[in-house]
Structure 1
């Protein structure tokens, strides 16, 4: 594919944009408006003032994921922490996490008085490396949190095999992975628990919110209690059995999610179709490499479409400069994380406050080379709402890249 006008001035320098349409998010219509208005007019906004809508959504989401239970909560950070607490972690326990993810995958571990252990990602997928997981296990390891980054499934067969052999729990961080599948199974439903976010950028959203899915009766009972101030099902209102807080969502969030869930399957398949097409197009562009996608990935929801950028084919242009140019051309894109999580001031300064993190926890020497390279030079993101465009939009994204390449190599 060739740019429509290779000699055109880059948009960053005052030329016309390659991509002129916008990609709105969130997507809604009268169904969401009427559902929220119905709750407002009922005067019963909270939970448990009138819990029917919340329970209805939980049951629908569990069914969609093929899980026995789903428990909503205020956000995807809390959903991870509730799942960890329900797994029975104790102060000083180690939890294996990737360094290429949003920070709450790790801070939820700290909030449980546990130690995040960062292990590197696979260079072809940017998901956590099973080999690196196995090498990091110690007698203190209790939980593995694989992150299905961008909606691309981790190697769950390998991860579950490791967990089984070492007696570990697996909590899937599926904050990016609504509707995506691994070998025909919905992500989040494969480990002992799956955690999702409904924050405003997510593929299924109510502005904020989170949910945990599980098939485990004991995990369900504990998570349900922890999100409801430690109450237990069938108990008295002022009887509190566990150290939970009020992490409940509202009726308005529940009805928004119920309506949005009706759209999710079609949207996921659209993103998947566009992702496959974009892979095909970008494979022909020198210096651009789409992330690897094995046959085990039966459905990818492309919360983030990631490709690897090689500056050598773009006149030595830095990744940051390239990403700025691409965004200026109208592609909803971003350079991604500036550095791995362990380089955040929180970890480098050991600013753990009142949390009981052992003095031996030291991140000053942590090094995950693949994650470092992804952050510094390689990984460029296209955002999920752009993946709901049409084939001609995917073609326009590629023309924008070719336009930049020809301009900087001229």
Structure 2
């Protein structure tokens, strides 16, 4: 093959993959309708927000869905609705986006970090059990990357200890566990509609539940503590975490495309898993779907990278950062963000941090390993790559193959880059 693009050779791919997020004339039309209505916000009968809540609840097959400003707000509201108070402990995965933990901290609670299954990168029943104390008030199950957590195992332990399960479904809209939508499996579920998510209005979120009393609290907490349908009588402390009519209208359109997008992404992910399987050091996450996972949300296509196996016996190990940089240079969009296990974030690990917050770590070994080896393609990298046909995705496999065949050159570049960094430091 030719030289690596990182070292001056021609890249494998010069044209972009599909973009993310996506929109067309339908979004433009509904935005114009909201503008002309002069009802741009608030909570009212016949609103875009009310319609979106109804349509989302129908899709998820739950009786109650409440739209909120964003996914983090949804987690805070869900936890407060479950009466999480200062000093209460909430078990969260040691590997997740930090908001899962900070939602607990912002309420004065204490996140307790539990380890993950190395095969799926989701929290397990055994890790939950090891993290429980007399102060445990809830557990948050994160369906990371769109892969449902083991809701059977988690549910059995949570039920035995009388602990409600909050589902963090920020990355899993459309995923199903034994035919049931994520978000409808625990006591309460929370979704995000930020720019990278399966449907998006830039920001936005929703809290869903089967429990009528819980949904009444959720509705009040997102609107200054006012019960739904009232304009006065603020019965408890609440926030202004409502969703605008513009966002609700866009999300209604996006929801109509969801199943088509999920089918395309499933096809793309299956192709990539097969195409990359022959290369050493690359392992898709998961390597094979649990039969109880009847649909994967495919927020991303993830695989772990073993630099030693990728390099082989005759070449020194390629670093994860060098591999990602080389892949980007070949025209393949990949998340460049270094992942950090939650307990190692400064706000939890550094006592001198301005916003240092209390936490407890039950276990995090597998989470730390996963963070140091994970490669993310797709929406996690701001790309609609998984929507493309396999004929386009072949370039991903070609780029990885090219890097592997030139791995000795990549190692030389690693050494030169290290020398340049040392020189610049002095």
In 1, distance between residues paired with 2:10 and 2:181? 42
Q: Within 5 Å, give how 1:389-404 maps onto structure 2.
A: 389-404=388-403
Partner of 2:27: 32
Name which of 169, 174, 180 aligns with 1:174.
169
How big is the shift at 1:14? 2.2
Partner of 2:417: none
Partner of 2:218: 223
Q: TM-score, normalised by structure 1?
A: 0.93
Partner of 2:139: 144
Q: Within 5 Å, give how 1:69-148 maps onto structure 2.
A: 69-148=64-143
Residues 67-110 of structure 1 deviation map (CA, whole Å, 9 limit, x = unaligned): 11100111100000000000111221110111211111000001
Name which of 345, 369, 373 aligns with 1:373.
369
Residues 277-315 of structure 1 deviation map (CA, whole Å, 9 limit, x = unaligned): 221222221111111221111111211111011111234
How big is the shift at 1:274? 1.4
Residues 120-139 of structure 1 deviation map (CA, whole Å, 9 limit, x = unaligned): 11111111132111111111
Partner of 1:324: 325
Contact kept? 1:336, 1:381, Cα under 8 Å = no
Contact kept? 1:36, 1:256, Cα under 8 Å = yes
In 1, distance between residues paired with 2:44 and 2:212? 25
Partner of 2:233: 239
Q: Within 5 Å, give how 1:219-298 maps onto structure 2.
A: 219-235=214-230, 237-292=231-286, 293-298=289-294
In 2, distance between residues paired with 1:135 and 1:339? 22
Residues 256-287 of structure 1 deviation map (CA, whole Å, 9 limit, x = unaligned): 00001110111011111211222122222111
Please give the secondary structure, in 1, of the residue aligned with 2:394. Answer: helix
Q: TM-score, normalised by structure 2?
A: 0.89
Contact kept? 1:336, 1:380, Cα under 8 Å = no
Please, which moves more after superposition, 249-258 or 45-54? 45-54
How big is the shift at 1:362? 5.4
In 2, distance between residues paired with 1:19 and 1:69? 46
Please give the secondary structure, in 1, of the residue aligned with 2:216. Answer: helix
Unaligned runs of 5+ in 2: 410-426
How big is the shift at 1:386? 1.1
- Where in structure 1 do 4 or more consecutive aligned residues deviate above 4 Å? 350-355
Contact kept? 1:269, 1:301, Cα under 8 Å = no
Partner of 1:3: none
Q: Give the number of aligned pairs.
A: 397
In 2, distance between residues paired with 1:19 and 1:68? 47
Contact kept? 2:114, 2:362, Cα under 8 Å = no
In 2, distance between residues paired with 1:48 and 1:353? 37
Residues 334-358 of structure 1 deviation map (CA, whole Å, 9 limit, x = unaligned): 2554321111111123479799x7x
Contact kept? 2:195, 2:202, Cα under 8 Å = yes
How big is the shift at 1:233? 2.8
Contact kept? 2:92, 2:111, Cα under 8 Å = yes
Contact kept? 2:84, 2:107, Cα under 8 Å = yes
Residues 12-63 of structure 1 deviation map (CA, whole Å, 9 limit, x = unaligned): 2222221333221221111110100011112111113665211000010011
In 1, distance between residues paired with 2:6 and 2:57? 46
In 1, distance between residues paired with 2:319 and 2:198? 30
Please, which moves more after superposition, 192-201 or 306-315? 306-315
